[in-house]
Amino acid sequence: MCNLYSLTKGQAAIIALTRAMRDTTGNLPPMPGIFPDYRAPIVRNAPDGVRELSLARCGMPPSHAALFEATKKRAAKLEAKGKTVDFKELLRMEPDSGTTNIRNTGSKHWTRWLGVENRCVVPFSSFSEFNKAEGGDIWFAFDESRPLAVFAGLWTNWTSVRKVKEGETTNDLFAFLTTDPNDVVGPIHPKAMPVILTKPDEIEIWLKAPVEEALNLQRPLADGVLRIVATGTKEDQPLGG
């Protein structure tokens, strides 16, 4: 599961690669470590139809079943302490920071967001998979300069409780698709790798094509393309970056 990535390229490079027509991010600093629930740049088809570079919070809504099970456990703990529980209200206020990786695009939970209006791409320079035996966080990129690419993602606007101290909030949220790992990622993380798009025509397909064609992009990156560029750090940044 990829829960950590970096973006050290500027807005001009993102706009050039993705052909975004509007930028609402303001002054975007380098982001050498983007974690779950962080706000980070995405390029999406905005509600008014304009392709825009904007900020969203990392982590799409979890399934109702997952929230329900978490609430049951919390309710049981409260009841064990002799407290009265309003389960419906407890469920509404159940905190969850979201799902960052999407693998099963055929599930009913995800199919509602597969239309072009909810697809996005997530710019990145490198991404990390954790492997304790190999030194912790292992960072992958195309080469030492960390050229810009994007993950294929989904986004939505959602009202929920992300953190208890925040209470109920409404946010733009995103997550990115995963697939089988290629030969570089597999030895470190054999379960999955992010779905990576490297060419403008792939980005156009993901953002504009019918869902059947777009989902053909949910496949591993070619073998031999990525390389390990850093090990054991929670942030990644090119030398001199």
State the burial class of residue 17 (Cβ atoms within 10 Å of its Cβ: 0-12, 13-18, 19+): buried
Domain ranges, residue 205: 4-61+99-123+149-225
Same domain, 170 and 211: yes
Residue type, 31: M
Same domain, 52 and 18: yes
Same domain, 57 and 154: yes
Least confident of 8-12, 130-134, 148-152, 198-202: 130-134
Count of the separate structural domains present in the chain: 2
Same domain, 105 and 90: no
Does any domain span residue 49? yes
In sequence order, the β-bridge partners of residue 51 are: 45
Compute and round to an integer the Cα radius of gyration of the chain: 19
User: Helix and strand tally (H, E) in the chain?
Assistant: 6, 14
More confident residue, 98 or 113: 113
Number of CB atoms found within 10 A of residue 110's CB: 19
* CATH code (residue 173): 3.90.1680.20
Q: What is the average pLDDT score of the chain?
A: 91
Does any domain span residue 139? no
Q: What's the token pair of residue 201?
A: 């025509």
Residue of 33, 27, 37 whose CA lies nearest to 173: 37
CA triplet 151, 157, 159: central angle to 5 degrees?
130
Same domain, 26 and 89: no
Does 213 have pLDDT greater than 60?
yes
- Angstrom distance (rounded) from CA 61 to CA 100: 9
Residue of 123, 161, 144, 153 whose CA lies nearest to 10: 123
Run of H or E residues at 65: helix 64-80
Give pLDDT tens digits for 176-212.
999 999 999 999 999 999 999 999 999 999 999 999 9
Strand order in the sheet with 4-7: 31-34, 4-7, 126-131, 136-141, 227-231
- pTM across the whole model: 0.90
Task: Answer for the pair 63, 101: CB distance below 8 angstroms, yes or no.
Answer: no
